[in-house]
Structures are given as C-alpha cells and as structure tokens.
Amino acid sequence: MIYVIATLTTKPGAADALRGAAAACRAESLNETGCISYELHQSFADPDRLVFVERWETREDLTAHSKQPHLLAWREASAPHLVSRTIEIVHPDRVESF
C-alpha cells in the first residue's frame, strides 16, 4: 500500500470554489481499481490550503489513476486557482516528491 499526500495552495478565497470539482474527482476516484481511500481536507489555519490524502494498493494503480478523465478534468478546473502544489508518494521504503 502507498499513500499520496497532495498539498495545494489556492489563490485567496478560491478553495471553496474548487470544492465541487474536487468532490466529483473524489467520487470517481473511489471507484477506481486499487483506490482504498481518497480524502480532501481544508486547513483550519490557512483556508487557502487543501490537502488530499489518498491510499492506493499499488504504484501501478496510482499511475493508472493519473490518466483518468476525471483527474484530468480536476487538474484543468483547479489550475487557474492554484498558487502551488506539492505531491508526496509514500512507499514503505521511500518517498517520491514532486
């Protein structure tokens, strides 16, 4: 099992506008092969910070997820509203960061 921690900083006030697109992506992702959980959190300290915490059975399942139409739609919808994005993929023996 691997974890994905994706931290997004949105432009001021944009986080709430992205909730609908994020919810649609989350709902579709939960139906994908290998998706164990897919959660979205908003920081209390910084409401412009969103954090996705995902669990996947394998790295291959996550790679397949990255090519799904609903994820591509999410990326397109969120792109104009983002200031930054960091992604960490936590494996049992290492962490991929980008």
Element (H, E) at 40: strand 35-42
96 — phi, psi (to 5°)?
-95, 135
Q: Which pLDDT score, from 0 to 100, does residue 16 have?
A: 87
Q: What confidence tens digit (pLDDT) does each residue in 2-49 have?
A: 999 999 999 999 998 898 999 999 999 999 999 999 999 999 999 999
Q: Which pLDDT score, from 0 to 100, does residue 80 have?
A: 96
Q: For the whole model, what pTM was predicted?
A: 0.92
Q: What confidence tens digit (pLDDT) does each residue in 49-96 have?
A: 999 999 999 999 999 999 999 999 999 999 999 999 999 999 999 999
Domains of the chain with bracketed CATH: 2-97 (3.30.70.100)
